[in-house]
Structure 1
Amino acid sequence: MTEDRIVWISTAILICLFMVQRFGTDKVGYSFAPIICVWFSLIGGIGVYNFIKFDPTVIKAINPKYIVDYFKRNKKDAWVSLGGVVLAITGTEALFADVGHFTVRSIQISMCSVTYPALIMAYTGQASFLRKHQSLVSDTFFKSIPHSLYWPMFVVAVAAAIIASQAMISGTFSIIQQSLSLGCFPRVKIVHTSAKYEGQVYIPEVNYLLMIACVGVTLGFRTTEKIGNAYGIAVVFVMTLTSSLLVLIMIMIWKTDILLVVAYVVIIGSIEFVYLSSVLYKFDQGGYLPLAFAAALMTVMYVWNNVYRKKYNFELEHKLSLVRVKDIASDTNLCRIPGLALFYSELVQGIPPIFEHYVANIQALHSVLVFVSIKSLPISKVPAEERFLFRRVEPKELNIFRCVVRYGYTDIRNKVEPLEQTLVEKLKEFIMENIYLAHIIDGKKGKEDENGVMNGEEWQERVVSETSMVEKAWEGGVVHLIGENEVIASKGSGIGKRLLIDYAYNFMKKNLRQSEEIFDIPHKRMLKVGMTYEL
C-alpha cells in the first residue's frame, strides 16, 4: 500500500469519525467498549507469548542501573531519544480530559487493572522479540504478531486508533463546554446527547473545525514521524501543566505539608522537565503544531473574554437606579399593556441601561416585567430548588421582578418544559413565600386582630390577587426581549483597542450563534432591542 493510499484512507476514516459524533458518546461507546477490551486482551496476550518464546531475561530491564548505563553510553543521543520514549504513554492524558464523560472511579479501575498491565506486557513482549530480531526496530509491532493473528490484529489496531481519537474529541467538547460556562469562549451550541449521562455533549461548530484541522494535518504532514513529534510536545506540556496546577491545589486547597510538596516537585517535576526539554528539541520537525494551535485558541479566548468583561463593566457602571426605574414606570405617557415580558440581561444586580432605551422608543410596558439573567456557575450541578433566584423591584405596584437563572456546567436544560413556564411557576412560589414572610413579620410586630389571632384572610387575598395577576399576564402572552448590544471602541482609543473590539470581537460575534439560539427562545415571541456601547 502506497503512502498516498494510506493518507487518503486515513482522511476518509477521520471524516466518518467526526460525522458520527452527533449521535453521542454513549451510543458510539457501545461499539467501542468491546473493541477496546479485545485490543487490550490481544496486545497483552501477544506480549506474554513473545516474552516466553524469545527472551524472558528482558525482565532485568526493571533494574535502574541499565538506564544509567544507557545515558553514560549515548549522552546527548540518549536525551534526544526520550522524545520517542514518551510516545509510549501518549493517550493517557485523554483520561483526564474525559472525566466529564466518565466517573473518576471507572477511570482509576480501568487504568490500573486493564490498561497499564496490558501495555507493560505488550512492551515487554516486544523487547523480548527485538532481542532476537534487532533489524526490525522500525516495524516491531506488526512483525512481532504471530502469523495467524496478523489480519485480525490489523483490523483491531485500526479500530483502536479510531477510538483513541474519539477520546480526544470527547475531551475537547467537555473542555469547550466548561470554558463557555465561564465566559472564556465565544457562543456555540451545546447539544446534550444523553439524558442518562450528564457530561456527554456535542458541539457542532467545534466538531467541524476539529475535522478540518485533523484532515489538514494528515494531508500536510503525511508521515507519523512529524505527527509523533507534535503529539509528544502536546502530551508532555499537558502533564507538566497538570503537575504545576496540582502543586497549587496541594498548597492552597489540600494544605499539604510543604516537605511533601517539595518532594513532589523535585521527583515528578524533574522527570517531566527532562521529557519536556527532550521533545522541544524537535520543535522545528512538527513540534510547533500544538503550540500554534494553542496560541490561536488562546487568542480567540482572550479577545472574547476581554471584551465580554468590558461590556459587563460598562452595564454595571451605567445601570439604572431604582429611583430612575420608578420614574420611568410612573410616566403618564407610558402605556401598560397586558402580558408578561422577559427582558434578558447579563447584569445580576441592577437594571441595564438598554431598558431605558427600549421604553423611550416603544412607550409601552407589559403588566408584568421580569429581568432575567442566565448564569453558568463553575460547579457541576445546581439543585433544582436553587436554580431560580427572585427579587422584587420596589415599589410593588410596578410588578417588576429580577430573576437569576443558574446552571452548572453539567446541567441539562429541560427542553420538554420551556424556561418561561418553569419561571412563571417559580415566580408564583416566590410571591407566596414573600407575602407569607411579611405576614409572619407583621405578626411578630404585634399587628394582630382584636381576637389576638393573626388575620389569615387578608394574607390569602393578597396571595390570590398577586398570583392571579401573574397568571393573567402569562395568559395574555409572553414576549422575550433580548438586548443586542453593539460594542465599539470609544473615541480616542488606541489602535490596539480598536483592533480588539471593532474588528476581532465583532467579527467573532457576527459569525457565531446568536443569543436566542443559545437560550432556545421561540422566534415568534422574540423582540430584539439594539443599543451601541462605547467601551
Structure 2
Amino acid sequence: MDPALRSETISNEFKENREKETWRRTILLSFQSLGIVYGRLSTAPLYVFGSILPDDLKSDKEIHELYSFIFWTLTLISLLKYAFIVLSADDDGEGGTFPLYSLLCRHAKMGLLPNDRSASEIIQHDRGSPRIKVPSTTRKCIEKYKTGHYFLLFLALFGCCMIISDGVLTPSVSVLSATSTFGRSMIKLSHRLISSQKIREHLDEVLTRLPVPMACAILVCLFTLQHYGTQKISFVFAPIVIIWLTFISGIGLYNIAQNHEILYAISPTYMLRFLKKVDIISWKALGSIILCTAGSEVMFANLGHFSKRSLKVTFVCLIYPALIVCYAGQAAFISRYLGTKDANVNLSESIPNKNLHHAFAVLSVFASAVGSQATITASFSIVNQCQALGCFPRVKVVHTSDKIRGQVYVPDVNWLFMTLSIGITVGFRDIAPIGKATGLAIISGMLVTTCLMSLVIALSWEKSVFIAACFMLFFGSLEATYLSSCLLNFPRGAWFITVLLLLFLTTMVSWYYGTVKKYQFDVENKVSVEWLTDLSPGLGISRVPGIGFIYTDISSGIPAFFSHFITNLPAFHQVLIFVSFKSLPVPYISEDQRYLIGRVGPKEYKIYRCVVLHGYRDHTRDSDDFEDHIISSIGEFIAREERDYESLSSPERMMVLGRSMGDGNALIPLTADSSDNSHPTLTQRSHSDDPAELSFAAIRRKRVRFMLPKNSPEMSVSVRKELQELVDARESGTAYFLGQSHLSLRRGSNLLKKLLIMVYVFLDKNAREPPVALNIPHAALLEVGTVYTI
C-alpha cells in the first residue's frame, strides 16, 4: 500500500487524541502502564539469579561479573534499543512485530497478504500525490526476490510466536517463583512457632507441595480477571507494582551499603574478565541473565494500549533505576555470603530483617500475578493483529476501551493460555527449566525485532545502509551471544519452547496457507461481469424484489459460488451489492475513507460493489448497523456519481466514501423503534407464488429506514429515480449470500501440503463464524457450498 494513503487513513479522532496528549494524560497513562506493561520487568528479579543453580556460581568475583552483564544488558537493550529507538518505530501508535512488518510492506513491494491486482488498483485510488521514494539498492533487492518476501513474512510470524509463547511461559514462571518463596517462608514460620519435630516434618511435607497447587489457583484467578479490560486491571495492579518497586529498591540500597564494592562492577572490564576465563558452565549462566530484560519486547508490543511518551517516561524515571539498584543489592548480598551457610541466590534471602520475609512472600505473590499481565496483554494485541491480516484463525476480539482503541481482550486465547500455563506449572514444578525456555523465547523475539528494525531504518526512515547495518551488527551480535548461551540450556528445559513454537507456528502458517490458496482459487475461477449482465437474459434469469448482499473475498468480477448459484437457480434480487473486506497493513482506517463504492455493469442492472477497508486494529464487521452504512454510502455514491464522474477510478469506477449517515445529501435515515406501532411495518414477506421469489423470502426487522430528501434542483430525475428504487428494494427485504468452502487436495500432493490443509480444515471447522455472519437472521442467510481443489 502506498505510504501517502497510509498517512491519510489514520482515524481522525485517534490523531487528535495523540496530538492533544497533555502531561496530565501522560501521567495517567504512566500510572496505568505500571500495572500492565512494567510488572514483567519489575518481577524479573524473582527468577534472574534464582534460575541459576548455586553450584554454578564459583566465586564472588563471578557474581560481580554477572551483575556487570545485567547492568549493561538493561542499559543497552532495554533502555537504548527499546525505550529510545524501537519505540520510535511505531506504526501510527501501534507496536510489535507485525506493525514493523506492516511498515516494511508499505515502504517496499513485499506484502504477501491476499490481494489481487485489480484490488490493488482500486486501493491505489488516492486523490493526493504520493511522495516519491528515493530508489535504493536495498529496496530493489527486497522487491525483486520473492523468496525474501516469504522469509520476512516467516520472520514476522516467528517473532509473533515467540511473544505468544512468552505469554504462556511468563505467568507460569512468575507465579511459581513467588509461590515457592511463599512456601519457604511458611516453612520457616512453622519452624519458629511449632516445637514438635513430628508435626514440623508433616507440615514441611505439606508446604513443600503447596507452591504448585497455589500457583495453579492464582493462574486461574489471573486469567479470569482479563475480561475486565486493560484500564480496570491497570488501576488495580499499578499500586502493587509501586509498592513492589519501593520494597526491592529499598532492599537493594541496604545491601549495596553493606557491600559497596558491587558498584565497581558497572565497569565493562568485568565483562571482559568473564569472557577471558569463561567455560561451558559459566556460559550457561548467561541464559538466566538475559531474563533481566524480560518485558522489553512486550513493552513495545503493548504500545497500542498506551502512548509512546508515557512508556518512555515511566521506564527512564522509575523502572530502570529501581531495577539497577535491586540487582546490585541482590548481587552484593550473594557475593558477600557466597560459600557460607547463609548463601542463597533467591531474592527473598537478601532481606535484612527476617520479620519482613513473610510480608515479602505475600507481596511477591501479588507482584508475580501483575508481572504476568504484560505478556498476556501483548499476546492479545499480537493475536488481534495476526487475525486481521489473515494469519490467525477467527477468534472473538473484545475492544475493552472506547478511548484507547488498541486495548483488546481475546477470550478464546485467554482460556488457551490458562490451560497451557497450568499444564507447564504442573508438568515442570520448578522455575529453572521454565526460566530456560523463557530466556530462549525472549532472546529469539529480540533478534527478530533487531532484523526487522534494521530494515525499517533503511526503508521506512530512509537512513543509510551503513546506519542500518551498524544497528544490526551491534545489537544482533549482543543478542546472538545470549542466544548461544540459551541454546546450551536446551536439554535443561529450553527445549519446551520448540513445542510451543511448533504449536503456534503451525497454526499461523496453516491458516495463512489455506486462506491464500482459497483466495487464489476464487480469483482464478471468478467470472466476468459480462457473464451476469450480457448473458443473463439468455439464461432466463429473473429479478425479484429486495436487496441481495453477496459477501466475497475478491474485489472484481463475480465470485464462483454466486455464479454456481445463479446457474442452478436463475434468479437474483432487484439490487445486488457485492461486499468484500480488504485488510490493509495499517492500524486504522478513518471513517470518512472506510468504503470504496462502485457500479458493476450498466446502470439499469442496479449492481454495486462495496470494498470495506480496515486496518489490523479496526473492528468493522459488526453487523448491527453495518448494512445501514453500506446502503447510505451507496446512496451517496449515486448522488455524486454524475458530478464527480472524472474523479472515479477506472477499474470499476470506485469512489471513496465514509459513514455519511445523517448528512442528508442522498438518503435520510429514520430510526424505527421496535416498540413504536406508529411506523409502518418494517418486516415484509414475499407473497408471490413464484418459487424463485419464495426461495428469497426473508424476514428482516430493520432498525433504520431511509427516505429521499426534498426535491432539489441539484439532484437529477434519474438520480432520484435510482435512489427511490434503492429505498424500495430495501423495504422489500434483504438476503445475504455467503460462500461455504470445502477444501479438497489434488492427487499427488506432497506431505507438507497435506498437513497444512488438514490443519487448516480442522481450524476452520472449529474457529468462530465470520464476523459479518454473526448477527444475520437465519431466515435471511443463504450459504452456497463450493468445493475448492487445492
Quick check: TM above 0.5? yes
**Equivalent in the alignment of 2:274:** 70
Which of 548, 563, 576 matches 1:356? 563
Query: What code does the residue aligned with 2:309 have?
Result: R
Query: What code does the residue aligned with 2:281 have?
Result: D
**Equivalent in the alignment of 1:36:** 241
Counterpart check, 1:505 vs 2:760: yes
The alignment partner of 1:256 has SS state of coil
**Equivalent in the alignment of 2:525:** 318
**Equivalent in the alignment of 1:528:** 783
Asked if the contact 1:343–1:369 (Cα under 8 Å) also holds between the matched residues in 2, the reply is yes
Asked if the contact 2:539–2:570 (Cα under 8 Å) also holds between the matched residues in 1, the reply is no
Per the TM alignment, residue 341 of structure 1 is displaced from its structure 2 partner at its CA by 1.2
Counterpart check, 1:56 vs 2:260: yes
Identical amino acids, percent of aligned pairs = 36
Which of 559, 577, 586 matches 1:379? 586
**Equivalent in the alignment of 2:347:** 141
Query: What code does the residue aligned with 2:448 have?
Result: L
The alignment partner of 2:256 has SS state of helix
User: Which structure shows the higher helix fraction?
Assistant: 1
Residues 134-283 of structure 1 mapped to structure 2, 5 A cutoff: 134=338, 135=340, 136-145=342-351, 146-283=353-490
Using the alignment, how far apart are the partners of 2:278 and 2:480 within structure 1? 19
The alignment partner of 1:436 has SS state of coil
Alpha-carbon spacing, 1:137–1:292, altered in 2? closer, same or farther (3 Å): farther
**Equivalent in the alignment of 2:318:** 114
The alignment partner of 2:505 has SS state of helix
**Equivalent in the alignment of 2:734:** 478
Query: What code does the residue aligned with 1:9 have?
Result: M
1:358-380 deviation digits (Å, cap 9, x = unpaired): 12233321111101002222111
The alignment partner of 1:514 has SS state of coil
1:45-87 deviation digits (Å, cap 9, x = unpaired): 22123222x1223211112222322333444333222112222
Alpha-carbon spacing, 1:81–1:494, altered in 2? closer, same or farther (3 Å): closer
Report which stretch shifted further, 266-275 or 492-501.
492-501
Asked if the contact 2:594–2:613 (Cα under 8 Å) also holds between the matched residues in 1, the reply is yes
**Equivalent in the alignment of 1:94:** 298
Using the alignment, how far apart are the partners of 2:568 and 2:771 within structure 1? 22
1:289-321 deviation digits (Å, cap 9, x = unpaired): 122211221112222211211111111112111
Per the TM alignment, residue 433 of structure 1 is displaced from its structure 2 partner at its CA by 0.7
Alpha-carbon spacing, 1:526–1:318, altered in 2? closer, same or farther (3 Å): same
Counterpart check, 1:467 vs 2:723: yes
Using the alignment, how far apart are the partners of 1:383 and 1:192 within structure 2? 17
Alpha-carbon spacing, 1:80–1:314, altered in 2? closer, same or farther (3 Å): same
The alignment partner of 2:499 has SS state of helix
Per the TM alignment, residue 524 of structure 1 is displaced from its structure 2 partner at its CA by 4.0
TM superposition score normalised by structure 1: 0.91
Per the TM alignment, residue 404 of structure 1 is displaced from its structure 2 partner at its CA by 0.5
Query: What code does the residue aligned with 1:436 have?
Result: R
**Equivalent in the alignment of 2:23:** none
1:9-35 deviation digits (Å, cap 9, x = unpaired): 101111111122122122211201121
Using the alignment, how far apart are the partners of 1:517 and 1:164 within structure 2? 36
Alpha-carbon spacing, 1:504–1:143, altered in 2? closer, same or farther (3 Å): closer
Using the alignment, how far apart are the partners of 1:521 and 1:72 within structure 2? 69
The alignment partner of 2:534 has SS state of helix
Using the alignment, how far apart are the partners of 1:407 and 1:527 within structure 2? 25
The alignment partner of 1:484 has SS state of strand
Using the alignment, how far apart are the partners of 2:479 and 2:772 within structure 1? 44
Counterpart check, 1:425 vs 2:632: yes
Query: What code does the residue aligned with 1:5 have?
Result: L
Asked if the contact 2:455–2:468 (Cα under 8 Å) also holds between the matched residues in 1, the reply is no
Counterpart check, 1:345 vs 2:552: yes
Per the TM alignment, residue 355 of structure 1 is displaced from its structure 2 partner at its CA by 1.2
Alpha-carbon spacing, 1:137–1:429, altered in 2? closer, same or farther (3 Å): farther
Asked if the contact 2:392–2:507 (Cα under 8 Å) also holds between the matched residues in 1, the reply is yes
Per the TM alignment, residue 328 of structure 1 is displaced from its structure 2 partner at its CA by 4.9
Per the TM alignment, residue 148 of structure 1 is displaced from its structure 2 partner at its CA by 4.6
Query: What code does the residue aligned with 1:78 have?
Result: S
**Equivalent in the alignment of 1:129:** 333
Counterpart check, 1:437 vs 2:671: no
**Equivalent in the alignment of 1:291:** 498
Counterpart check, 1:26 vs 2:26: no
TM superposition score normalised by structure 2: 0.63
Per the TM alignment, residue 282 of structure 1 is displaced from its structure 2 partner at its CA by 0.7
Higher relative contact order (CA 8 A, sep 6+): 2
Using the alignment, how far apart are the partners of 1:133 and 1:28 within structure 2? 40
Asked if the contact 1:189–1:518 (Cα under 8 Å) also holds between the matched residues in 2, the reply is no
RMSD: 2.3
Query: What code does the residue aligned with 2:349 have?
Result: K
Per the TM alignment, residue 457 of structure 1 is displaced from its structure 2 partner at its CA by 5.1
Using the alignment, how far apart are the partners of 1:121 and 1:74 within structure 2? 26
1:135-181 deviation digits (Å, cap 9, x = unpaired): 44534411222335333332222122111211111111111111111
**Equivalent in the alignment of 1:17:** 222
Alpha-carbon spacing, 1:225–1:274, altered in 2? closer, same or farther (3 Å): same
Alpha-carbon spacing, 1:328–1:297, altered in 2? closer, same or farther (3 Å): farther
Asked if the contact 1:181–1:378 (Cα under 8 Å) also holds between the matched residues in 2, the reply is no
The alignment partner of 1:479 has SS state of strand
Which of 515, 523, 534 matches 1:327? 534
Alpha-carbon spacing, 1:60–1:420, altered in 2? closer, same or farther (3 Å): same
**Equivalent in the alignment of 1:300:** 507
Asked if the contact 2:334–2:344 (Cα under 8 Å) also holds between the matched residues in 1, the reply is no
Using the alignment, how far apart are the partners of 1:416 and 1:532 within structure 2? 27
Per the TM alignment, residue 244 of structure 1 is displaced from its structure 2 partner at its CA by 1.5
Query: What code does the residue aligned with 1:49 have?
Result: Y
The alignment partner of 1:185 has SS state of coil
Asked if the contact 2:334–2:345 (Cα under 8 Å) also holds between the matched residues in 1, the reply is no
Using the alignment, how far apart are the partners of 1:416 and 1:517 within structure 2? 6
Which of 734, 737, 744 matches 1:488? 744
Query: What code does the residue aligned with 1:419 have?
Result: F
Asked if the contact 1:322–1:393 (Cα under 8 Å) also holds between the matched residues in 2, the reply is yes
**Equivalent in the alignment of 1:392:** 599
Asked if the contact 2:745–2:754 (Cα under 8 Å) also holds between the matched residues in 1, the reply is yes
1:328-352 deviation digits (Å, cap 9, x = unpaired): 5435732322111111000012211
The alignment partner of 1:45 has SS state of helix
Alpha-carbon spacing, 1:137–1:168, altered in 2? closer, same or farther (3 Å): farther
The alignment partner of 1:188 has SS state of coil
Query: What code does the residue aligned with 1:513 have?
Result: R
Per the TM alignment, residue 288 of structure 1 is displaced from its structure 2 partner at its CA by 1.2
Using the alignment, how far apart are the partners of 2:753 and 2:449 within structure 1? 33
Per the TM alignment, residue 488 of structure 1 is displaced from its structure 2 partner at its CA by 1.0
Using the alignment, how far apart are the partners of 1:237 and 1:310 within structure 2? 30
